[in-house]
Amino acid sequence: MDVSNILASHAAKYQSVTVEKETPLDVDAGFLTVTDLTPIDEDSYQSNLEDYLKSTARDGIQALIAALYGLPTQPSPDGALAQLPEPTTKLPRAKPLPKPKPPTKWERFAAAKGIQKRVREKKVWDEERQEWVNRWGKDGKNKEKEEQWIHEVKANADVDYDPVKAARDERTSRVAKNERQRLQNVARAQTAGGEREERKKDIEKTLASTRISTASMGKFDKKLEGEKKLRGVKRKFEATETSVEQEKQASLAVLAKLDSGAKGPRKGKSAGDDVLNVRKAIRTVSKGKGGVALARETHRKGAKGKRGGKR
Amino acid sequence: MLRTVKPRNARSKRALDAREAKEVEDVRTAIFVKGTHTGEVVNGVMKELMALKRPDAISFSKKNAIRPFEDASSLEFWSNKNDATMFLIGHSTKKRPAGLTITRTFDSKVLDMCELGIDKFVNMAEFKTPKSTPGHKPMMHFASELFDTHPRFIQLKSLLMDLFNGEVIESICLPGLEHVISVTLSPAPSLQTANPILGESQDEDLQNLPKVHIRTYTVKLLPSGTRIPRVELTEMGPFIDLSLRRHQDADPEMWKAAMRRPKLKKQDLEKGLGKKRKNMEVDEMGDLRGRVHIAKQDLGKLQTRKMKGLKSVPGEEDGDSQDSEQEEASRRKRKRD
């Protein structure tokens, strides 16, 4: 069977959907964008601008559509939804990244102890009424005690002891405590980290330096009550015995340094063809006063000499 | 500085929360502002661009004395006030006729700017062709190698993408793809790719920079006999020819902060990427069923009851190999019991 004319008629009916370009098109399906990095063809640009623009755009969009129709889809009432990949082009954000909320005291404690968060149901079963009631709020279960019509009172209770009021006070104080703790958490979240901590560290550093800035390096200073002992930096030494591998590494590092001819930071800075270290020379000649002072000195000397000549 | 507003009710609280910074951001809202003088051309261009940008566009109907390259304080104020992060400023002066400045902000501060001169403008009404539905996402097409090499055009591409297509979305309705914004450059043989050593002697460079042709088309999808349809384009308008003028690059620090990405959860990413979830299925009852694969258990290492007599004594191992074999055999026997 010859299918060539069937194929030919098919080809005539439908135009091709493939796009051939020298440089492959850069398709960013996440942003529905296609970039054609082929240089602009000057001849066709000059001869017919609009047609040229349209044809390049068509080729690019054909490639983009091909990429989009190749993506996995989900059906929806309005048509197929293509699941887009992450965009490859990086665009700047409009607002800085949101800062994570600082954890509350309880959250920190729970994290340390490994306590999982558990959602408490809002309704509880009431045996007497045989229905679900609110745990708190309107007709809440937590008000049960203060709303019951008869109360048990101990024999030695005060004359003016009001069991309803006692139950109510207990509940309201729990609410008040929770509110207080919430406010503390808010206050802690505001001060946590940032400026306050930094300032504290700064002050401590300044205090430490002032304490050793007296003639006796703070030895004979009056101590304030509750003043902490100054702690310096502890010196650390390498272990006397290390593994052969480590020792080898250290020695090789030294040898490599010697071998490469790398110089120390000071020598490296002045490295070049200057034979004279100008800064050092100025320092020596001016006896450590600096170049400006030296210039002034020489100038004054010259003036003096002249005056002396006049005399 | 705007006063910080404390929400008085739930509705205003929701409105304020919507303005807060988010991990995955919303689309940038653009404000269209007119400078002290705008000509007919600039007005037309702004109107048409706004039609393309709708509904995330705010129009300022009055004229404002702003010069974005000299003083950006009012832009920052508007950005704060309107929760908008992009500006299109139209202005026309004797020195720079028919200009359009695209400005992008980060954290209510101006990030970068690019001024474009309008050379030619053909509006939408001049083409008697079907138009796209407002609010539909456009497809974008950029053509020229300079969009990958020249810093000015990299910036322009970034700005235009941010203006029309900057939102990260999970999925797109394929029949809803209606129009194309195509940005093509004119050929520029004399232009070498940016020379950072020479620096930018701006005026001289600007003459050499190629023109920018912005064209919008509607898409017609024809059957092709395959899954992928054949694309045909129809002119929609506006057609705008632009030339680059002044620009302001982003401050490197600020740019770095703006390019920071959130660490998204892997689960979210996989969901967004449209990956197939493996080993999970929903059965007829609507229950989620998972399949778990576990390696075959090694029963040889199973700890049975410990007995003192079965402990291996280090001294005994030095004995004959036969001896130890015998012992092992007996041990196995005992284990089986």
pLDDT at B113 over 50: yes
Rounded CA-CA distance A56/A45 in Å is 11
Interhelix angle A278-285/A291-310, rounded to 10 degrees, is 50
Which of A192-206, B70-84, B207-221 has the weakest average pLDDT? A192-206
The HSE-up count of residue A28 (CA atoms within 13 Å, CB side) is 23
pLDDT tens-digit map of A143-189? 999 999 999 999 999 999 999 999 999 999 999 999 999 999 988 88
Confidence of residue B1 (pLDDT cuts 50, 70, 90): very low
**B-proximal residues of A, 73-132, CB under 8 Å:** 73-74, 76, 78-87, 89-98
| Residue B109, Cβ density class (10 Å: 0-12 exposed, 13-18 middle, ≥19 buried) | middle
Query: What is the pLDDT, as a whole number, of residue B200?
Result: 46
Other Cβ atoms less than 10 A from the Cβ of B278: the count is 7
- Token pair recorded at residue B255: 């740019």
| A44 touches B: beta carbon within 8 Å | no
pLDDT at position B326 over 60: no
Amino acid making up residue B40: E
Q: Which residue of B has its CA nearest to A52?
A: B184
Do residue B107 and residue A92 have CB atoms under 8 angstroms apart? no
- Position A229 scores a pLDDT of 80
Q: B177 and A37 in contact by Cβ < 8 A?
A: no
Backbone angles phi, psi at B116, to 5 degrees: -125, 140
Q: Which residues of chain A lie closer than 8 angstroms to B172, CB-CB?
A: 32, 68, 81-82, 84
Could you tell me the pLDDT band of residue B284, with boundaries at 50, 70 and 90? Answer: confident
Residue B274: per-residue pLDDT: 46
Residue A293: band (very low, low, confident or very high) from pLDDT cuts 50, 70, 90: confident
Q: Are B41 and B35 in contact (CB under 8 A)?
A: no
Domains and CATH numbers, chain B: 26-259 (3.40.50.10480)
Chain A environment of B189 (Cβ under 8 Å): 42
Residues A43 and A29: their CA atoms lie apart, in Å, by 31
If you measure CA to CA, which chain B residue comes closest to A28? B140
pLDDT at B262: 84
Alpha carbons B100 and B90: distance in angstroms, whole number: 5
For residues A1 and A228, give the distance between their C-alpha atoms in angstroms, rounded to a whole number: 102
Residue B26, min C-alpha distance to chain A (Å)? 9
Average pLDDT, chain A: 85
Tokens 């632009």, residue? B242
Pick the residue of B192, B231, B271, B273 with the most A CBs within 10 A to test the interface with A by mutation.
Answer: B231
Q: What is the DSSP letter of A23?
A: S
> Picking from B21-25, B37-41, B307-311, which range would have the lowest pLDDT averaged per residue?
B307-311
- Out of A33, A40, A57, the one facing B215 most closely (by C-beta) is A57
Q: What is the pLDDT of residues A248-276, one digit of tens each?
A: 999 999 999 888 765 555 544 544 556 78
Q: Give pLDDT, residue A309.
A: 44
Cβ–Cβ below 8 Å for B165 and A85: no
Q: What is the pLDDT of residue B204?
A: 55
| Rounded CA separation B19/B32 (Å) | 20
**Cβ proximity of B76 and B1 under 8 Å:** no
Among A107-121, B61-75, B306-320, whose mean pLDDT is lowest?
A: B306-320
Q: Is A14 on the interface with B (CB under 8 A)?
A: yes
Residues in chain A with CB shorter than 8 Å from the CB of B106 are 92-96
> What is the C-alpha separation between A280 and A288, in angstroms, rounded?
9
Write out chain B in H/E/C secondary structure: CCCCCCCCCHHHHHHHHHHCCCCCCCCCCEEEEECCCCCHHHHHHHHHHHHHHCCCEEEEEEECCCCCCCCCHHHHHHHHHHCCCEEEEEECCCCCCCEEEEEEEECCEEEEEEEEEEEEEECHHHCCCCCCCCCCCCEEEEECCHHHHCHHHHHHHHHHHHHHHCCCCCEEEHHHCCEEEEEEECCCCCCCCCCCCCCCCHHHHHHHCCCEEEEEEEEEEECCCCCCCEEEEEECCCEEEEEEEEEECCCHHHHHHHCCCCCCCHHHHHHHCCCCCCCEEECCCCCEEECCCCCCCCHHHCCCCCCHHHCCCHHHHHCCHHHHHHHHHHHHHHHHC
Kindly state the DSSP code that residue A90 receives in the 8-state scheme: -
* Burial group, residue B58, by CB count within 10 angstroms (0-12, 13-18, 19+): middle
pLDDT per residue as tens digits for the range B53-68: 988 999 999 999 999 9
Q: What is the mean pLDDT of residues B94-114?
A: 93
pLDDT at B277 > cutoff 70 = no
Average pLDDT score over residue span A119-144: 92
Per residue in A27-77, pLDDT tens?
Answer: 999 999 999 988 888 888 888 899 999 999 999 999 999 999 999 988 888
Q: Point out the residue among B22, B161, B272 whose CB comes nearest to the CB of A86.
A: B272
A161 min Cα distance to partner chain B (Å)? 41
* Two tokens, residue A267: 């020598």
d(CA A234, CA A212): 17
pLDDT of residue A260: 77
How distant is the Cα of B314 from the closest Cα of chain A, in angstroms?
29
What pLDDT band is residue B278 in, cutting at 50, 70 and 90? confident
Q: Are strands B239-248 and B212-222 parallel, antiparallel or unpaired?
A: antiparallel
Contact at 8 Å (CB) between A96 and B257?
Answer: yes
CA B222, B226, B227, B230 dihedral sign is: negative
The H-or-E segment that residue A146 falls in is helix A144-147
Q: For residue B26, is pLDDT > 50?
A: yes
pLDDT 10s digits, B166-217 = 888 889 999 899 999 999 999 876 555 444 444 444 555 677 789 999 999 9
**Nearest by CB: A91 against B140, B166, B210:** B166
The stretch B106-126 carries a mean pLDDT of 93
- CB neighbour list of residue B171: distance below 8 Å, 6 or more residues apart: A74, A81, A82, A83, A84, B274
Q: Is the pLDDT of residue B75 over 90?
A: yes
| Residues A151, A168 contacting (CB under 8 angstroms) | no
Q: Do A40 and B177 make contact, defined as CB atoms within 8 angstroms?
A: no
- Rounded to the nearest 10 degrees, the angle between the axes of helix A105-113 and helix A163-191 is 90
From the list A97, A257, A15, A224, the residue with the least C-alpha distance to B260 is: A97
Better pLDDT: A8 or A31 = A31
The DSSP call for residue A132 is E
CB contacts, 8 Å: A93 with chain B: 25, 106, 258-260
- CA B17 to chain CA centroid, Å, is 22
Instruction: Kindly tell me the burial class for residue A182, based on how many C-beta atoms sit within 10 Å of its own C-beta (0-12, 13-18, 19 or more).
Output: exposed
- pLDDT value of residue A262: 57
